[in-house]
Every structure is written in C-alpha cells, then in structure tokens.
Amino acid sequence: MRQKIISITIIVLFTLLLSLALAVGGLGYLIPPPEVREIARWYLERAYYPYDRLFTVMSPEAVTSIVWDFRGLDTLFETMVFYLAIIGSVALLRGIKTPKPSRAIESYGLSLIVKSVTKITLGLILAVAASIALHGHLTPGGGFQGGATAAVVSLLVLVVFSIYYMEERGISKNNMLALRSIGLIGVGLTAIIVFIIGLLTANNAFVFQNQPKEVAPVGLPAYIGGALISGTLWFFNVFEMLAVAAGFTIVFLLLTLPERVVMESIRGDSE
C-alpha cells in the first residue's frame, strides 16, 4: 500500500512540474504559442480558398483537409494498419464459430422494455453517425468518427439482444470483413481516381490529388448540384466510415464469443 501511495505521489508531482515547465516556457516554447506558426497559417488559409483554386482543398474543415489532402498518404497507411490489426484479430480466432443457441433467440438479451427503447435509439445513433461522416468536410468530424459512432449500434445490439440476434440479421464476421474490404477498396480508388482521369485525358495528375493544380489540370469537382463536397474528401469520409464501422463490429463480435467456446477451440488446436 505504501509503495502505491509513493508511486502515485511521484507521478502527480512529475505531471505538475512538467506542466509548470511547459507553461513558463522552460522547454523552449510556450503552450499555447504566442502566434500561429507559418505552416499552420498556410493550412488554415488554404483549406478553403476559392480565390486560388490551384492551392486549396475547397474544404472549410481544416483538419479534414490536412488528414485527407495535405497529408493523405499518412492517413492511408494508418487505415491500412487498422485493417491489418483487424485481420490479425480474425487470424487469432480463426475457425472459432458462434455456437448454436440452445433456446429461442428472443429469450436472450435484456428485457423487452430495454429492447424496445434500444430499437428507437439505434436509428438515432445511425443518423448522427451519417451526419458526422457526410459533413466531415464541412464541420468537425469525418469518416473515422462517423464509423466509430456507427459501431456503437453493433455494441448495443450485442449487449441488449445477444450475438445470436446479430448473426440472424446477417451481421456476421464474414459479412463485416466484406464490408470492411469494400470500404478500404473505396479509399484506395478515391486516392488514385484523379490519377486515372489524368491518364485517360493525357494530362499530368498525382495520387491523392483533389483539386486541379498548375502542372496537373485535372481533379474532382468541388461542387455537385450546388452542394460543396470538396472533391475527394466526401468520398474518403464515406468509405472510411464503412471500413471503421465494420472493423469495430468485427472486434466486438470476436470479444463477445463465449469464453468456453474459445478455450475448447484452443485446446482442440493444441491437441
């Protein structure tokens, strides 16, 4: 007990001293800095700058502009890492199937009142998730945030209705893997679509290009029917939402497998 108190005290003191050092500029700079750095100012100014279409993302949401345009390649690799993590989780639990329910599916889960309220809530959560993803190029949010919000639906269904209910509705590991792959393929195609357009039109173009550039005069339209979609950004957010929602759902399904079933499968493999 004494060791725990000493450890907690040291951590608290270290945190306070480090915070004090940062606040007074003891590490060489102030937080927050007295003025915006030049590169940050450039990002903020050029995120949505319709007066010079050769140097803008045409998105008023600066964070999304950086994530999917200025530094889109970083985000692509982060998405691939997340995808590989899901594949690793599936590989570890390969061959393990959900056992057949021993009684009627309706008898699993929580009470009827909780189930009824949850059914209403699920639609609201999906609406919020869609809004976060579809407006990610206009307001704070994006595909990852929207996908994570949508994944709450699968988590609620697992807790309130049971894993058997989900699989009966077609929300299985294999189906979610397919949806996850569709999302990742969509992200990849969006990343190279302008490059393909450039090849077809005999123009220069680059991977992850969004709006036309001086040396690459092709790009996706910033507006469709008067609605601002910011070129590739809207498509990136939509496909990222699918990929993230499906990925988290796969993890939830794997974590919900009965421990008895997993242990029996592991013992079977070891034998």
pTM: predicted TM-score of the whole model, two decimal places: 0.82
Check whether 20 has a pLDDT greater than 70.
Answer: yes
- The reported pLDDT for the residue numbered 263 is 64
| pLDDT(47) > 60 | yes
Q: Give the per-residue pLDDT at 80.
A: 85
* Beta carbons within 8 Å of 208's beta carbon, 6+ residues apart: 69, 72, 73, 76, 191, 232
Helix axes 232-255, 112-134, angle to 10 degrees: 150
Looking at the chain, the whole-number percentage of residues with pLDDT higher than 70 is 92
Q: Which residue has the tokens 């140097």?
A: 55
pLDDT, tens digit, 9 for 90 and up, residues 70-98: 988 888 888 888 888 888 888 877 767 77
